[in-house]
Amino acid sequence: MKKNILITGVNGQVGTKLYEFLNEISGFNLVASDLGDNQFDFPIYEVLDVTNRNDVKAVVKKYAIDEIYHLAAILSSAGEQNNQLAWEVNMNGLMNVLCIARDCAVKRLFYPSSIAVFGGPFKNGIAHQELLSTPTTMYGINKLAGENLCNYFNTKFNLDIRSLRYPGIIGSENNAGGG
């Protein structure tokens, strides 16, 4: 039986490539979602605001979602311009996705983090393993808090959550989004 996967923030840098990769592997029913229009003609696309818990829950139930790749976020540059919006989308959106994943028995959640959790500058340009997390941007603060929130949901509710701290990412098909 094919897994049903929801990708939030699919129109972004990582989302477009992730969708393409998962689609090539096949074996998955992919549900693409983002705030705006279906920019890349995804076969199944939902306009979805992750800050609206009821809408997220409706999509998860409608497609019997097994896994969520939660990529929806306000990145660094935009987050510095509007701290409140960054918190609303990055933290309240994540909380909505976590609660719905728990309540709807989603099997796995992927939450990308960022090198922004470290702040900077780095000694010799390297973020060493023992470097303390002292973020200097709203995005970095949100990502560090998000990691801790995911850890809580994993420990408290046994929710399978995977995370990776990405460095800055740019892609060939999308404009840089200020991350």
Q: What percent of the chain has pLDDT over 70?
A: 94
At which residue do the structure tokens 């991350």 appear? 179
166: annotated active-site residue: no
What does the pLDDT look like over 72-105, one tens digit per residue?
Answer: 999 889 999 999 999 999 999 999 999 999 999 9
Name the pTM for this structure: 0.91
**From the candidates 45, 69, 111, 139, which is the catalytic residue?**
139
Segment 53-66 mean pLDDT: 99
CATH superfamily of 3-166: NAD(P)-binding Rossmann-like Domain (3.40.50.720)
The two structure tokens encoding residue 86: 């960054």
What does the pLDDT look like over 105-125, one tens digit per residue?
Answer: 999 999 999 888 888 777 777
